[in-house]
Amino acid sequence: MVSSLLTVMTWNMWFDRNNRRQRTETLINEIRTYDPDIIALQEVVPESLEIIVAKMPPSYYIIGINPNGFPAGYDTLILSKFPPIQWDRYYLPKTKMGRNLLLTTLQTPTSQITVGTFHLESIFNKLANTAEILKESQLKYIYAISPMNSILMGDTNLIKDEDPQPLPSPESPKHPNNPPIIDIYYMSQPFSERVLSPRNEQISTQITHTDASASHQDSHGLGVSQFQKGADATYCGRTNKHVKDKSIQSRLDRIYVKIKRNSLKVHFYGLTGTLTQPSDHFGVFTQIEI
């Protein structure tokens, strides 16, 4: 089977009204700069959607527009350079916030690929353990209904554990060497073996990380992470002006793949928006070969 090299980005846009138009236009500029193949967006409000439709490069298909509007006030969206064959939304179990999985099948030049974006329940209270169990159950549901060879991106709102926890798989429940859902954060090659090949050389000096001490530079000047716990927090009060609680440092936003380990290669991983900050989340930008 011929492999596909895909550059993908996921970003929680932040539904806050503060400078919404300016922040949305800034995010579009970030997308133009990085030029990814696929972008997964969360917390897209109607005003931001209008700007995206008007100003996104025409090379992108906009997938997931709901003709009936956003029942919860905001929703998820996928932007793709590859044409969608089909797409649908699946509401998550026990959601009280209208949270769902937007799942689409895309036709790349070499194969079909399934891409999903989600926004798990936003619950942070005294019943933290119960809240985390609910969010983990929603993530398991996302895995269960997604086909093999899927890229699944979004805001997990998971804060309990930053370590990779393989989820139970209906296909392979007893194969610890082949986790059913793989967090690409932990799958990048060691720095000395990493091959960095952004298409747009101008972006090489702009891919940054929230913790400079945990980053290195390759010959292109592209920052890469040592993948220390908390080093690449996508929701970080210390480095993001939009986060009021400066003690918060959590990697809420994730990119998962549902694929066999030996079929996956991560070329680079980094955070975006650490300079322009259009959102209270940093975006995740990666290139994967599947």
Cα 131 from Cα 154, distance rounded (Å): 18
Q: Is the pLDDT of residue 10 over 90?
A: yes
Count CB-CB contacts under 10 A for residue 163.
8
pLDDT of residue 182: 84
Higher pLDDT, 215 or 263: 263
**What is the average pLDDT value for the chain, to the nearest integer?**
79
The alpha-carbon radius of gyration of the chain (Å, integer) is: 18
Residue 276 has pLDDT above 70, yes or no: yes
CB distance 261 to 164 below 8 Å: no
- Tokens 């699946």 locate to 90
3-state secondary structure of 103: strand
Domains of the chain: 5-198+253-289 (3.60.10.10)
pLDDT in tens, 137-158: 899 899 999 998 899 999 999 8
pLDDT of 243 strictly over 70:
yes
Q: What percent of the chain has pLDDT over 70?
A: 76
Residue 179 has pLDDT above 60, yes or no: no
SS3 content of the chain, % helix, strand, coil (to 5): 20, 30, 50
Mean pLDDT value of segment 100-114? 94
Q: Is the pLDDT of residue 210 over 90?
A: no
Give 42-92 pLDDT, tens digit per residue.
999 999 999 999 999 999 999 999 877 776 789 999 999 999 999 999 999
Structure tokens of 22?
Answer: 């300016």
> Other C-beta atoms within 10 Å of 34: how many?
21
Residue 186's CB is within 10 A of a number of other CB atoms, namely 12
- 30 Cβ contact partners less than 8 Å away, ≥ 6 residues apart: 11, 272, 273, 276, 278, 283
Tell me, what's the pLDDT at 88?
96
For CA atoms 201, 207, 212, 214, give the dihedral sign: negative
Of 2 and 264, the one with more pLDDT: 264
Whether 231 shows a pLDDT value over 70: the answer reads no
Give the model's pLDDT for residue 124: 72
Q: What's the pLDDT score for residue 171?
A: 43
Given a cut of 70, whether residue 196 has pLDDT beyond it is no
pTM: 0.82
Residue 227: its pLDDT value, please?
A: 38
